[in-house]
Amino acid sequence: MDRHAGRGDEIPGTSDPVTRLSLDVLAEAASTPPPGALARLLPAARSARPPAPAAGFAAPFAARVAAMDALLASATPADWAQKIVEGWTLQELVAHLAATDGLVANAIGAAVAGPPLAADEVLSRTADMIAYTGGRRPEETRVEWRAQAETICARAAAMEPGTPIAPGGIQFPVSDHLLARMLETWIHTDDAATVIGLPLPLPLAAHIHPTADFCARLIPWTMLLSGVDGGERSVRLTLTGPGGGAWHVPLSVARVAAPDDGAPSDAQITCDVVEFCFLLGGRGTPEAFAARIEGDEGLAREVLRCAPALSGP
C-alpha cells in the first residue's frame, strides 16, 4: 500500500480525522481502490465515533485512535480473524495496542483495560491481554481498547506535557510517550489496512510533525542501543513532505536534537518524513532505505541502520 495515498491534509476544513477518512475514501475512487473498499470503509468512517477531546500534545494519538477505530468499524468477521503482523490476528493486534496503551494508563493513574496488570512490560502484558480477549467478541476488544485510549487522553489533558513517566521502565515526558503511542497506533493501523486491503489516509501534517520531531530526538538513543558511539558527531536530518522539517541531531545522548540552525554537521540525510517515521517504527529495510546523503556516507548509513533499534512488536 502507498502510505502517501489519500493525503487528508490536502482537503481544507477537515481537521476531524473520521470526517477526513470519509472524504479521503471518496477521493480514492479516482485511483481504483481495492474492490469493495469504498462500500465498506465509507459507512464505517461515518458511523465511527469522533475522537474524544484531547490536550494539544495528546491530539495526534487521539486522531490515530479514531482512524484505527474507523477501520475496525468496517472489519468483517473474516477480517478480525486475519493474521496481520507478528502472527497476530486483527483482534490480537488490538489487544496488543490495548496492552501497550495500558502501561501508559497505569503510569498516569488512568483506568487500565483488561485483567489486573501483573507486569509493567510490553510482551508479558500483551500475552495477558491476548489471553483475556481470546473468549471475547472482537467488538468487545475494540470497545475496551478505544475506551482506555480515551481515558488516557482525558487524564493527559490535566497534566503538564513535560511530566516524566516511565511505563515499561522507559522514562520520557508524558508528551513523548503519547507520541510513541501515536506512532505505534499509526503503524499498526497501516499494517491492518494493508492486509485487509483498505485505503488509509495520512495523519494531518500538524500531527506528523511532532511525531517526526520525536523520531529525530530518538536517533542518539537508537545509536546507543545499537552499540554505536556517536561521540561528538552530528547529522542534519531533512524530512520532506507535509509535516516534515529539518533538524540538527547530535549523536550523543547528552545533547538533544533541535530544529536545524545551520550548525555544522558530519553528514546530511534527506528523506521522506513518513518513510522515516516508519523506519523508526520498525518498517522498511535500513540497508535499502531511500535517502539522499551528503558528507560522511558511512555515518549516515549507520544512523539509518540503527534507526529501528527501539521499535517493538
- Model pLDDT for residues 129-176, shown as the tens digit of each residue: 999 999 899 999 999 999 999 999 999 988 999 999 999 999 999 999
What's the mean pLDDT when you consider all of the chain?
Answer: 87
The pTM (predicted TM-score) of the whole model is: 0.86
Query: What pLDDT is attached to residue 82?
Result: 95
Query: What pLDDT is attached to residue 169?
Result: 93
- Model pLDDT for residues 216-247, shown as the tens digit of each residue: 999 999 999 999 988 899 999 999 999 999 99
Query: What pLDDT is attached to residue 201?
Result: 87
- Any idea which fold 8-203 has? Four Helix Bundle (Hemerythrin (Met), subunit A) (1.20.120)
d(CA 231, CA 213): 21
Assess contact for 185 and 152: CB atoms under 8 A: no
Say yes or no to pLDDT of 111 above 90.
yes
Q: What's the average model confidence in pLDDT over 41-67?
A: 70
Strands 83-85 and 88-89, sheet pairing = antiparallel
Assess contact for 237 and 269: CB atoms under 8 A: yes
Q: What's the average model confidence in pLDDT over 34-49?
A: 50
Query: What pLDDT is attached to residue 35?
Result: 52
Query: What pLDDT is attached to residue 4?
Result: 63
d(CA 230, CA 133): 43
Strands (E), 93-208: 164-165, 172-173
Say yes or no to pLDDT of 11 above 80.
no
Q: What's the average model confidence in pLDDT over 76-105?
A: 97
Q: Cβ atoms within 10 A of the Cβ of 76, count?
A: 10
Domain regions of the chain by residue span: 8-203, 209-310
256 phi, psi to nearest 5 deg: -120, 140
Q: Say which CATH superfamily domain 209-310 falls into.
A: SCP2 sterol-binding domain (3.30.1050.10)
Q: Cβ atoms within 10 A of the Cβ of 112, count?
A: 21
How sure is the predictor about 7, in pLDDT bands with cuts at 50, 70 and 90?
very low
